[in-house]
Amino acid sequence: MHRTHGFDIVSVTYLPELNSKGVFARHRETGCEVYHMLNDDEENLFAYSFMTPPTDSTGVAHILEHSVLCGSKNYPLKDPFLILAKQSVKTFLNAMTFPDKTVYPASSMVEADYFNLMAVYGDSVFFPLLDRWIFRQEGHRVEMDESGNATVQGIVFNEMRGNYSSFDTIAGDWTIRSILEGTPYTHDSGGDPAVIPELTYEQFINFHRTYYHPVNCRIFLYGNIPTEKQLAFLQDRFLSSFSKAPAVPPISAVPHRTEPRTLYVPGPATDDDSERCTVHLNWLLGEVSDAETIMEANLVSEILLGHDGAPLSRALLASELGEDVAPSSGLETELRYLCFSAGLRGVRREDADKVGKTVLDTLARIAEQGVPQDDLEAAVHSLDFSNREIRRSHGPFALIHMRRALRGWNHGFGPDGTLRYIPAFDAVKARLAGDPAYVQSLVKKWFLENNHRDLVVVYPDQDYGKRLEERLSSFAQTALGENGSFREKLRAEQKDLARIQETPDSGDLLAKIPHVSRNDLPTMTETVPSDIGRSGTVPLVRHELPTNGITYVEAAFPVDSLSPQEYLLLPLLASVLTSCGMDGLSWVDSSALSARYTGGLQAPLFPAIPVPRVYPPVPPAGTISLSG
């Protein structure tokens, strides 16, 4: 085994379909694991990831995610993250709390900038200040207004309050919480506003001590900066300061159930939807252990629910028991377990059982009769497309690799087990071709013979908001103390926090945040190859780029001949164009057709201004495009 900078190189694998080498290293002293997708991409990405399974719904993982970015040992500013974001040439910089992990990714095209980001982020996660005022600012505190009324405040508290006022969010959360009862997934890692104020400062500090040690850290790297250079950096800056610590145990196994259940869960109500529930049927499919199992589950989910013409979506819509397929329907692949949900929103409470029956009857019919060839082809096409498509969606494509790698890696399965999708896709396609009853047998195994399932009815409860208010006001009363005896103490704390927040960081502190110099930046900008011609009378622009064999077509129609009144109807037209049938085809049939041959059709609206000396001329005042 090769040793370098305190690391053992555990394995080096060639990932031909990803044009990368996978270098897997483990830090000898602390056990910190690093996986580098080494390739020739100049957009390098790193992510510090920690397994952070919650034991309650106080949102401690989420509050910590916010708080570590509020100053650290070498960057003791109030908000280094903000300063860094302003002066870096990053292409991505964020932090996310998942139900079982917290991830801090960043990327840049400029090497010096990349290491600056890695330095500040690493210092934040391993050596944060976590002062009491940070906990009170980001987590929760009781604050008094001028007339002495006390309320609970806090950045995460208020963020989650917003989340918990959305009926769809609550309904979505319960697809997982019900089926994984008895595991950390029963709790809300983001925080339930009715529980967040229970979190103490000591618990918060302990959570960091337990879960942010390198023994529980997985570092994902992507791009062309040599592995050795990055390992040396990680060792010198951070890991050499740590000694051994006990490993964090894996996420507890879900107790197996043999009887299905029905649960009624209250959700927030608005005046006009007091009768409308969201009804899901949820299943536990199995463990996220390897890419093939995930691919099989993805295939079945795509066949059943991939588009409005897919058999289960079609049956749910045709039942007319609800307004639409519930937005959280589908497969969950980011947790230790694969979970599947199907359901409807806008259902009358007395129809809830009928929704369950519709789903079960449809699955029984599929298990018996199989799936039409067209539906199979559409599902395979769609999976192939979503696997191959290189897209930037709120960040670099490497984020997708990071998420895929962490799926299994977070649960001890090794980083490339869930990263590589082509071999898994080929294996699943071969099974599909070799066994005509393949999908039927999966439907039987996962749904019909598997009683680890719940029918969850989330209903609007008029008292939902009132109960939360009562609970919060009791927290505020407790904080005020008997007869308001803590009132003065609270006022002093409040003043203290305001003083810290209002005092700007000194110039000396601001100067600690590293920045790139002009010499670090490339002198040339990247150009997109363009070939400008005509197709008949229509100007045609072609860009030849590496897209994994996918062709993107966009037809732009100028709309500047419309009147200002007609402009108001454009958003409606854009939405209608891609959400109703085509000539001679119903919506269900046209969505099936589009799923079989395209990666999806969209009709976005673009405002535009005339650009002189450009050929072909940019339409003068806005376009509507059809793309797919």
DSSP for 447-493 reads IIS---EEEEEEEEETTHHHHHHHHHHHHHHHHH-GGGTTHHHHHHH
The continuous run of DSSP H or E covering 8 comes out as: strand 7-15
Nearer to Zn ion, 159 or 374 (CB): 159
Nearer to Zn ion, 159 or 461 (CB): 159
Nearest distance from C-beta of residue 270 to Zn ion, angstroms: 24
Q: How far is CA 337 from CA 11, 193, 521, in A?
A: 26, 26, 44
Rounded Cα distance between 482 and 463, Å, is 28
Total interface residues for Zn ion by CB under 5 A: 1
Strand ranges in 139-275 using DSSP code E only, listed in sequence order: 141-144, 150-153, 217-223, 261-268
Task: Output the six-digit token pair for 60.
Answer: 């401690």
Residue 425 and residue 237 in contact, taking contact as beta carbons nearer than 8 Å: no
- Which residue has the closest beta carbon to Zn ion? 159
Through-space distance between the first and last CA atoms of the chain, rounded to whole angstroms: 48
Burial class (CB in 10 A: 0-12, 13-18, 19+), 220: buried
Nearest distance from C-beta of residue 216 to Zn ion, angstroms: 21
Rounded Cα distance between 15 and 36, Å, is 12
Q: Which of 65, 143, 296, 332 is the catalytic position?
A: 65
Residue 247 and residue 31 in contact, taking contact as beta carbons nearer than 8 Å: yes
Nearest distance from C-beta of residue 97 to Zn ion, angstroms: 7
Helix (H, G, I), strand (E, B) or coil at 405: helix
Q: Give me the 134-163 binding string for Zn ion, x by CB under 5 A, dash otherwise.
A: -------------------------x----
Nearest distance from C-beta of residue 459 to Zn ion, angstroms: 28
Nearest distance from C-beta of residue 135 to Zn ion, angstroms: 14
Nearer to Zn ion, 27 or 136 (CB): 136
Query: Which residues fall within 8 angstroms of residue 49, CB to CB, at 6 or more apart?
Result: 101, 102, 103, 104, 217, 218, 219, 220, 406, 410
Nearest distance from C-beta of residue 188 to Zn ion, angstroms: 12
Nearer to Zn ion, 53 or 214 (CB): 53
Burial class (CB in 10 A: 0-12, 13-18, 19+), 259: exposed
> Does 65 qualify as catalytic in the annotation?
yes
Q: At what angle do helices 291-305 and 422-434 cross, to 10 degrees?
A: 60
Nearer to Zn ion, 65 or 143 (CB): 65
Q: What is the 3-state secondary structure (H, E, C) of 321-376?
A: CCCEECCCCEEECCCCEEEEEEEEEEEEHHHHHHHHHHHHHHHHHHHHHCCCHHHH
DSSP for 45-77 reads EEEEEEE---SSSS-HHHHHHHHTTS-BSS---
Nearest distance from C-beta of residue 95 to Zn ion, angstroms: 8
Nearer to Zn ion, 97 or 382 (CB): 97
Nearer to Zn ion, 196 or 310 (CB): 196
Helix (H, G, I), strand (E, B) or coil at 251: coil
Q: Which of 43, 138, 143, 296 is the catalytic position?
A: 138
Nearer to Zn ion, 169 or 341 (CB): 169
Nearest distance from C-beta of residue 66 to Zn ion, angstroms: 6
Nearer to Zn ion, 159 or 505 (CB): 159
Asked if omega into 529 is within 30° of 0 (cis), the reply is no
Nearest distance from C-beta of residue 361 to Zn ion, angstroms: 41
Nearer to Zn ion, 33 or 138 (CB): 138
> Does 138 qualify as catalytic in the annotation?
yes
Place of tokens 């409308």: 276
Nearest distance from C-beta of residue 154 to Zn ion, angstroms: 11
Rounded Cα distance between 157 and 137, Å, is 10
Task: Output the six-digit token pair for 2.
Answer: 């090769």
DSSP for 28-50 reads TTT--EEEEEE-S-SSEEEEEEE
Nearest partner of 260 among 3, 447, 99, judged by Cα? 447
Query: Which residues sit at the interface with Zn ion, rule CB under 5 A?
Result: 159
Catalytic residues: 65, 138
